[in-house]
């Protein structure tokens, strides 16, 4: 089954396990090459990018070995944010994009995100396509593969990714629209460490970058989108107007204001509802994890709120199905379909800044319903719809005045519990009691 390899956002695991070994990546490259050749009769090119973790070089070169084996032509982007890889894939006919990253995870994990070109867009694979690839991996037999040295693929480095992306930004944002704006950027020691400061400066901002010196092991280490509270100290120290925190591969964004308020992805949606590009949109897309307060706020703005399963690919699907432009996740994935098919932390920051400048920096977010979220480490994902788990969850759900959500992470070996109730204290109490009872049985 596809679940053997794919989670909510590609393949992800501890380096040295599953496919994340040299042999495993060569195998994956061969399988992907076979699958691409079968599904695309064009002379396909595959763009390969990576984040800054120390295992990425090894895994990239092993993957490319497998792709070349299957006569696939490869262009290497090196360290580049996932959104830029997707942008290049979207603008190259017949292409595919492969990103070696574990996104917001610590350095000891890594993974693979896959994209395909489709009518001028870059799309993540469908569950059916993931199943096809998983089946090929499960049926892989090294003895059946021989190398045809007359039909090997080619491999070159793509040198001008920053220039290509800068030109795209110049078409969509006014020159120097960030003039007189002082901004702190927390680059998470990740893929945007070089790109983001230069691009913000290009549009006129005064930039102070922190956590922009990756060493292979410090990606997401007490920094970036998962630790935005550190931004506030630098904002105050440097008397900056605002701060933005990326994650390791650049598709998440969290904002911090001068007075220390941390704006999640939910807050971002509330702000961007007021941007001219989205203010007339009658529906907004979030997920089951989105705070119910945002749904109430959307309703107050005469907008319908649509919930999807967790995963930005599901948000993207809903945007296409309903012909909408704005959606996102609480975690900081925000999709701006008028600009991109994917979540891009830098694009999101630019749109937020446009909105705030238009409103003279006076925007307010929505009122959140009191809530509490926790994670539990797990080793086996047991079926929570079966007993005794179902009854335990139902009993706790019956004693709150709000929503309760229990779900396994698709990217980490953890169980997430989210409770909304009349007070944060109540929500925390219920979440902790539920986690204790589930832990006893799990």
Distances in Å between the Cα of 349 and the Cα atoms of 109, 143, 328 are 27, 50, 14
Asked whether the beta carbons of 124 and 113 are under 8 A apart, the reply is yes
The CA distance from 132 to 109, in Å, is 24
The CA distance from 404 to 420, in Å, is 6
SS3 state at 288: coil
CB atoms within 10 A of CB 37: 13
Please name the residue that has the structure tokens 């694009």: 347
Which H or E run includes 420?
strand 414-420
DSSP 219-233: TTSS-GGG-THHHHH
Distances in Å between the Cα of 205 and the Cα atoms of 178, 180, 249, 407 are 5, 6, 22, 40
The CA distance from 63 to 22, in Å, is 8
Residue in 103, 331, 343, 435 annotated catalytic: 103
Please tell me what DSSP assigns to residue 249. T
Measured in whole angstroms, how far is the alpha carbon of residue 167 from the centre of its chain?
23
* Tokens found for residue 105: 């995870």
Q: What is the dihedral sign for C-alpha 297, 402, 436, 384?
A: negative
**Which residues, listed in sequence order, are joined to residue 131 by a DSSP beta bridge?**
none
103 is catalytic: yes
Residues listed for the chain: 442
Rounded-to-10 torsion of CA 378, 383, 387, 388: 10
The CA distance from 92 to 85, in Å, is 11
The CA distance from 390 to 396, in Å, is 10
Tally of CA atoms within 13 A in the half-sphere of 155 that contains its CB: 16
Strand bridging mode 334-336 / 371-377: unpaired
DSSP 307-367: EE-SSHHHHHHHHHHTT-SEEE-TTS-EEETTT-SSB-HHHHHHHHHHHHHHTTT----PP
Residues belonging to the active site: 103
């Amino acid at each position: 089954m596809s679940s053997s390899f794919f989670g909510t956002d590609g393949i992800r695991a501890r380096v040295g396990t599953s496919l994340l070994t040299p042999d495993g990546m060569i195998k994956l490259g061969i399988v992907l090459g076979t699958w691409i050749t079968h599904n695309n009769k064009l002379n396909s090119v595959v763009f390969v990018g990576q984040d800054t973790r120390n295992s990425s070089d090894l895994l990239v070169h092993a993957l490319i070995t497998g792709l070349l084996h299957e006569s696939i032509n490869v262009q290497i982007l090196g360290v580049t944010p996932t959104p830029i890889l997707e942008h290049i894939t979207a603008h190259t006919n017949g292409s595919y994009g492969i990103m070696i990253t574990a996104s917001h995870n610590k350095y000891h994990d890594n993974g693979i995100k896959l994209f395909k070109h489709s009518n001028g867009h870059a799309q993540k694979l469908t569950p059916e396509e993931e199943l096809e690839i998983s089946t090929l991996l499960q049926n892989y037999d090294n003895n059946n593969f021989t190398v045809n040295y007359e039909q090997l693929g080619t491999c070159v480095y793509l040198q001008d990714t920053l220039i290509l992306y800068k030109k795209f930004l110049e078409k969509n944002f006014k020159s120097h629209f960030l003039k007189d704006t002082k901004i702190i950027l927390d680059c998470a020691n990740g893929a945007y460490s070089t790109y983001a400061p230069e691009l913000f400066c290009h549009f006129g901002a005064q930039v102070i970058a922190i956590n922009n010196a990756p060493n292979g092991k410090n990606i997401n280490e007490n920094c970036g989108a998962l630790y935005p509270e550190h931004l506030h100290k630098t904002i105050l120290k440097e008397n900056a107007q605002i701060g933005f925190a990326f994650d390791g591969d650049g598709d998440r964004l969290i904002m911090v204001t001068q007075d220390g308020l941390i704006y999640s992805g939910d807050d971002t949606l509330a702000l961007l509802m007021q941007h001219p590009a989205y203010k007339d949109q009658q529906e907004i897309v979030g997920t089951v994890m989105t705070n119910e307060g945002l749904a109430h706020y959307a309703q107050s703005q005469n907008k319908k709120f649509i919930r999807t399963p967790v995963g930005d690919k599901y948000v993207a699907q809903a945007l296409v199905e309903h012909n909408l432009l704005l959606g996102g996740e609480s975690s900081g994935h925000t999709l701006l379909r008028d600009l991109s098919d994917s979540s891009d932390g830098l694009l999101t920051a630019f749109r937020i800044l446009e909105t705030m400048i238009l409103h003279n920096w006076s925007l307010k977010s929505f009122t959140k319903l009191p809530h509490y979220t926790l994670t539990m480490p797990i080793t086996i994902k047991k079926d929570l719809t079966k007993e005794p788990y179902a009854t335990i969850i139902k009993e706790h759900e019956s004693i709150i005045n709000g929503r309760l959500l229990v779900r396994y992470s698709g990217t980490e070996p953890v169980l997430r519990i989210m409770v909304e109730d009349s007070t944060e204290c109540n929500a925390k109490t219920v979440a902790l009691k539920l986690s204790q009872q589930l832990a006893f049985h799990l």
